[in-house]
Amino acid sequence: MASQPRVTAPQQQTGNIVRDSALGLVPETLDKYMDLTRVIWEGGLLNPAEVEIARLRNARKVNCVFCKSVRYDIAVADGLTEEKVQMIDDDFQQTSLTDREKLILAFTDQYLNDPAGLGSELKEKLLQEFTPEELVHLSMAVAYFNGFSRCAVSLGGMPDELPVMQISVPQ
């Protein structure tokens, strides 16, 4: 991980972990990002714990230290536990996650590795468990998470590890 930042965070700190990162250098863009974050978490068809499972799988695949350490409070309130978070690994199929949660992880992996290569077996399972609208929400959430975690990684300056921290959906 690049511990030297490629871009320095704003001098004036606000107390908001996202606004105080390098993303805070472009508040006009960041404000739209915060709006979209709220819609993904609060306006979609998937519940917050399901959204968080996809976000954390993306964070693990991209290796975004910040994203891996964050837990959204709305997902924790919805029942996401650290025990469940520990199951979001490469052996998730062998865990006690629900079939729906395992499908979210399988879809996220497929999306990140080969979005056009969705096999007929996975497609059939997804359509048995999720509505088309839920799959669109999941697709858009994963695309969003992937873009911003890659942005964070590319900007550098992250430590090798961070403690688990809970944050709120931006208001």
For the stretch 25-64, pLDDT in tens is: 888 988 898 899 999 999 889 999 999 999 999 999 999 9
pLDDT grade, residue 3 (50/70/90)?
A: low
The pLDDT of residue 85 is above 70: yes
| Domains in the chain with CATH codes | 22-167 (1.20.1290.10)
Amino acid at 93: Q
Tokens linked to 26? 């472009």
| Beta-carbon contacts of residue 12 (< 8 Å; ≥ 6 apart) | none
Phi, psi for residue 146 in degrees, rounded to 5: -65, -45
Phi-psi region of 49 (alpha: psi -120 to 50; beta: other; left: phi over 0): alpha
Report percent pLDDT > 90 for the chain: 70
The pLDDT of residue 1 is above 50: no
